[in-house]
Each structure stands twice: as C-alpha cells, then as structure tokens.
C-alpha cells in the first residue's frame, strides 16, 4: 500500500523529541511521501531543511493568513527565492481565515493575491487554507484559475482540510482544484462532511493529516502524525465503496499528479 500525507507540519515543536520515529512509523504504515506546508518564512525554511534531510519529505513555502499582519513585498521576494529549491512542490499554505482575529481581512486578502500571483508566475500549485471565508475566497480562486499556465492545467492546487459545503466543493472542482480530507472525516457527527466526500470525483481527492492537529478516530484527542492518514483513506474508501488499498493508490496518484512528484 502506498499513501501520501499531503499536509503535515513535521517541523512543529510537537515532533522535536521523536521526529525520526514518527517518519519511520509512517513508512511502516505505507506513507511514502509527506508534504510539509509552511505558515511563515521561518517554517518555509524549516520545511526545506526537512526535505533535505528526509527523502520522503517535500515542502511548500508561503505565509498562512494568520501570519500576514506584517506581510510586505519583501515576503514575496523571500518566498520566490525559497521556491527555487528542488524539494519545494507548492506555494502554501495560503488563504483566508476569518475564525481567528490575527490579521486584518484586507491584509489577508492582499497576501493571498500576491502569493497566488507568485504561484502562477512560478507554475506551482497552491495549498489553500479556508476557514469561515468561503464567500470571499472562492471568487478569488476562480478568477485566478481562469488563465493558468499550461504546466498548471488540471493541477491548480488543493483546498486543504475541506470543511465547507457541497456547493463550495463544486466551485473548487470547477476551478480545477483538488479537495483534501483530514481527520474530521472520521468523526461520528461529521455526516455532512462525509456526504460532500461521497460526491467528490475520485480523481480529485487527497488525504492528509494536518498533523499534529485534527487526529482521526480511533486516536482522537492525541497528537496526530502522518501514519494516521491511513484512517482518513480508510473512511474515504468506505464512502466510495472501494478497498482501503484501492483508495490509497487513487489518492497517491492524485498527489503525484498535483505536486509533480514520482
């Protein structure tokens, strides 16, 4: 079985004591690649360093909406330079977050547009964070996706840890995005989310952990880690009436296509 955890913050301090063991445990569960997205410039550099140290780890670089309060054009220059590294496969995670009040909405929106423009110029897909901001983020993403370079056709990016409505999922799919599912797909009261997942085409689904957060059943309440992406794939498989092995292969091929990894 092959799995790709398409969103895991391995650089976070929760793994400082056992990062090597966590990666080995993931490999034992079939996780062959891990995408480590950034939340700011420091974590962008840390993700690249992990990619240099571990063959299985790839990085995304960018500034999370909650880190955009002091965002300037100098950040774009820094991200552009970091994105030149061979282990960088995406710009992210970027987006809008209206749940936390950590950055003014206008600053978040400016940072998102600037990073989308950079991703287009570099022909890199984007990892999108969307929390309570669907009405504002979808028009931006749809407009951005209309004139992508040929290298991004069919691989615009992913709406990670999807938690919005079926209508938002459809709009994202229409714009060429993938949909990423995390631990909440396994939660007992997540029937609405599972109904969305049932209707996402199999060639557009990804599995991710967002570790150390959003731990799936049966480990809910404990620190999440890449090995647990298996349980997300298992639940997604049941929803699509596939075996876990089949869903692992499907989502792995999708991740390889989106992030241009082999």
Q: What CATH number has the domain bearing residue 207? A: 3.20.20.140
Q: pLDDT > 70: what percent of the chain?
A: 100
* pLDDT of res. 207: 98
Task: Read off the pLDDT of residues 15-53 as tens digits, 9 standing for 90 and up.
Answer: 999 999 999 999 999 999 999 999 999 999 999 999 999
Q: Is the pLDDT of residue 262 over 90?
A: no
How many domains does the chain fold into? Answer: 1
* β-strand partners of 129: 95
Q: Is the preceding peptide bond at 149 cis, omega within 30 degrees of 0?
A: no
The angle subtended at Cα 87 by Cα 14 and Cα 202, nearest 5°, is 85
Tell me the mean pLDDT in the region 104-108: 97
- Section 113-137 average pLDDT: 98
Q: Percent of the chain at pLDDT above 90?
A: 100
153-211, pLDDT tens digit by residue?
999 999 999 999 999 999 999 999 999 999 999 999 999 999 999 999 999 999 999 99
Tokens of 178: 């993938």
Span 249-255, mean pLDDT? 98
Biggest distance spanned by C-alpha atoms of the chain: 48
- Edge-to-edge strand order for the sheet containing 88-97? 3-5, 31-36, 57-61, 88-97, 126-131, 157-159, 177-181, 205-207
Query: pLDDT tens for residues 46-81?
Result: 999 999 999 999 999 999 999 999 999 999 999 999
Quote the CA–CA distance of 72 and 87 in Å, as a whole number.
25
| Cis ω before 212 (30° cut-off from 0) | yes
pLDDT-based confidence at residue 14 (cuts at 50, 70, 90)? very high
pTM: 0.98
Please, which residues have CB within 8 angstroms of residue 23's CB and are 6 or more apart in sequence? 10, 34, 54, 56, 57, 226
- What's the rounded Cα separation, in Å, for the pair 31 and 209? 12
Q: What's the average model confidence in pLDDT over 220-232? A: 98
Tokens of 254: 């999708």
Cis peptide before 218 (omega within 30 of 0): yes
Domain that holds residue 213: 3-220+228-259
CB of 59 within 8 A of CB of 87? yes
């Amino acid at each position: 079985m092959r799995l790709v955890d398409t969103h895991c913050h391995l650089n976070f301090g929760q793994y400082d004591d056992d990062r090597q063991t966590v990666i080995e445990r993931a490999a034992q569960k079939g996780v062959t690649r891990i995408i480590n997205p950034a939340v700011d410039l420091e974590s962008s550099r840390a993700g690249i360093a992990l990619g240099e140290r571990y063959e299985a780890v790839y990085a995304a670089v960018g500034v999370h909406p909650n880190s955009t309060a002091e965002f300037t054009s100098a950040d774009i220059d820094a991200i552009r330079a970091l994105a030149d590294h061979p282990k960088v496969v995406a710009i992210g995670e970027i987006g809008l977050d209206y749940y936390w009040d950590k950055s003014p909405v206008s600053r978040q929106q400016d940072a998102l547009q600037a990073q989308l423009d950079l991703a287009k110029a570099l022909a890199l897909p984007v990892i999108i964070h969307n929390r309570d901001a669907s009405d504002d983020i979808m028009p931006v993403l749809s407009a951005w996706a209309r004139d992508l370079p040929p290298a991004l056709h069919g691989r615009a990016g992913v709406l990670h840890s999807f938690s919005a409505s079926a209508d938002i999922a459809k709009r994202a799919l229409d714009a060429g995005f993938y949909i990423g599912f995390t631990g909440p797909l396994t939660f007992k009261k997540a029937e609405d989310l599972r109904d969305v997942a049932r209707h996402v085409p199999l060639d557009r689904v990804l599995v991710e952990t967002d570790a150390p957060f959003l731990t799936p059943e049966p480990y809910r309440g404990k620190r999440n880690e890449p090995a647990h992406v298996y349980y997300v794939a298992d639940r997604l498989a049941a929803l699509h009436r596939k075996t876990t092995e089949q869903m692992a292969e499907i989502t792995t091929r999708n991740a390889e296509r989106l992030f241009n990894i082999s």
